[in-house]
Structure 1
């Protein structure tokens, strides 16, 4: 067996660790992204205000609304991504007989892996987006923090409710901006691979190097693609019957946000998103590299991979 599965397992483990560590920032960012009425009494004026209000109104549980689906989604997303990325990367290296990919090869690998990941995992993130904002909706309806927590549906319940009320295809709401956002991991992983290759020419990389390179690459990717991330989050919510709040396409969403909220509306929650994305990518790259050797050993124990000595 190739190392693709080991990379997938290590990526899944790294995704779980990075998601669990940074999830409160995801909650804050998502709440701000989907907020339309800034004048509402329950509206958040910024990242710190959102963090304070969520904690005061919903407790610690509010900051981790939807964590179950997010951890599952992170594991699947990173597992799928790394499997296909390493598979395409391996094909390029075998064909070219080179140990390092060119920039174009890195971009192609990222595009293929990103597209496959979007199609396979979009339902998970639709459910997660709904769960992330559900607690706020329950509290706005007058429920106490305890009652809101009890009324919060599980991941499977939310999944079943969406299918029953809106149909199976609704699980792929926001898939178009999600596919466009494949450019995010393309930028991220291309930057990471090229920076890694440059550093490796000088010395061997350590855990801190992977942390820093992951941060730099993700910062570039998120800053460039944030408006699309925001529109995707809104499209993944249950669509309103109000035409002014319903987006028929990515272009329609961008047009309506600019018309109703101005250019600044496209960057709601960007501070927490940048911090969360950078930390997530840093912890992901660092833990993924650390977990890779353990994933290889696990596959050898399970008999799914031969050891190097016996290969």
Structure 2
């Protein structure tokens, strides 16, 4: 068996660790993104204000609303992404001289293909997670789990409801493309001079995610709003209409709501993810060897 499965398992494990550590920031960022009325007394003014208001009104569990679907979603997302990315990467590297890394263009293409596969497979999970996190479109406490919320969406909006914001999500494939391209290129440069440590992976993950999130954030706001339950007069029929409505009613700053908490969360998540993935990779290989899915003679090397 190739290293693709080991990369998928370690990527999923790294995603779970990073999501669990940073989820309150995910929750706050999502609520700020979908908030349109900043004038009411209950409106969140900024990240700190949102933190204390959620804590006061809902308790600590409010900061972790939708955590189970978020952890499940990130595990599936990273598992699919890393499997597909490493599979495409292996094809490119096989066609080159041994040991020669991918070019920037090849890194971007591998990221695009892996990203599209992830979006099509996981958009329903993230739609459900958004509804659970921002508490919109959910009737009563009894429905606060991913399965009942998913069923409710299908009953009210059809299967298409689970794919709300999918076009924006496909455009946002550029986010991991930027992230993993920057990461791979920086990793290749640093590795020429010395062996990378766990802290190097932490730092490179943070830098690459900072670049990606800063560039693509407006699309993230529109995707979150499309995925949250909204009245007919609030719905965005297209991404372009979303841009126009937000700018007309909230100004350009509306496209960047919650960016401070999102950047902190994204950078920390990516940093923990890359570091945890590298640590978990050898464990994933060992598990596959023990399970008989991989030969022990190749267990020591990484793809």
Q: When the two structures are superposed, what TM-score results if normalisation uses the length of structure 1? A: 0.93
Which residue in the other structure is 1:83 paired with?
A: 83
Q: Indicate whether 1:277 and 2:266 are aligned.
A: yes
Tell me, which stretches of 5 or more residues in structure 2 are unaligned?
none
Which residue in the other structure is 1:141 paired with?
A: none
Q: Is the 8 A contact 2:206 2:268 kept in 1?
A: yes
Aligned residues: 299
SS in 1 for 2:296: coil
Which residue in the other structure is 2:222 paired with?
A: 231
Cα offsets for 1:218-240 (capped at 9, x unmatched): 00000000000000000001231
Match of 1:263 among 237, 252, 259: 252
2: distance between equivalents of 1:105 and 1:241?
Answer: 42
Q: 1:148-159 counterparts in 2 under 5 A?
A: 150-151=141-142, 153-159=144-150
Which residue in the other structure is 1:2 paired with?
A: 2
Which residue in the other structure is 2:103 paired with?
A: 102
Which residue in the other structure is 1:241 paired with?
A: 232
Q: Is the 8 A contact 1:134 1:152 kept in 2?
A: no
Which residue in the other structure is 1:204 paired with?
A: 195
Q: Is the 8 A contact 2:136 2:228 kept in 1?
A: no
1: distance between equivalents of 2:75 and 2:152?
Answer: 23
Cα offsets for 1:238-259 (capped at 9, x unmatched): 23122xx110011000110000
Deviation, structure 1 residue 309: 5.6
2: distance between equivalents of 1:198 and 1:180?
Answer: 28
1: distance between equivalents of 2:112 and 2:40?
Answer: 40
Q: Is the 8 A contact 1:135 1:152 kept in 2?
A: no
Change beyond 3 A, Cα 1:152–1:137: closer
SS in 2 for 1:308: helix
Q: Indicate whether 1:220 and 2:211 are aligned.
A: yes
Change beyond 3 A, Cα 1:272–1:309: closer
2: distance between equivalents of 1:39 and 1:104?
Answer: 46
Which residue in the other structure is 1:184 paired with?
A: 175
Deviation, structure 1 residue 136: 11
Q: When the two structures are superposed, what TM-score results if normalisation uses the length of structure 2? A: 0.96
Q: Indicate whether 1:289 and 2:289 are aligned.
A: no
Deviation, structure 1 residue 47: 0.8
Which residue in the other structure is 2:38 paired with?
A: 38
Which residue in the other structure is 2:71 paired with?
A: 71
Which residue in the other structure is 2:164 paired with?
A: 173
Deviation, structure 1 residue 135: 7.7
Which 4+ stretches in 1 moved above 4 angstroms? 135-138
Q: Is the 8 A contact 1:4 1:83 kept in 2?
A: yes
- More off after superposition, 262-271 vs 37-46: 37-46
Q: Is the 8 A contact 1:24 1:63 kept in 2?
A: yes
Cα offsets for 1:28-69 (capped at 9, x unmatched): 000000001111221111111001100011000000000000
Change beyond 3 A, Cα 1:262–1:305: same
SS in 2 for 1:96: coil
Change beyond 3 A, Cα 1:276–1:49: same
Change beyond 3 A, Cα 1:232–1:309: closer
1: distance between equivalents of 2:252 and 2:106?
Answer: 35
Deviation, structure 1 residue 97: 2.5
Change beyond 3 A, Cα 1:239–1:295: same
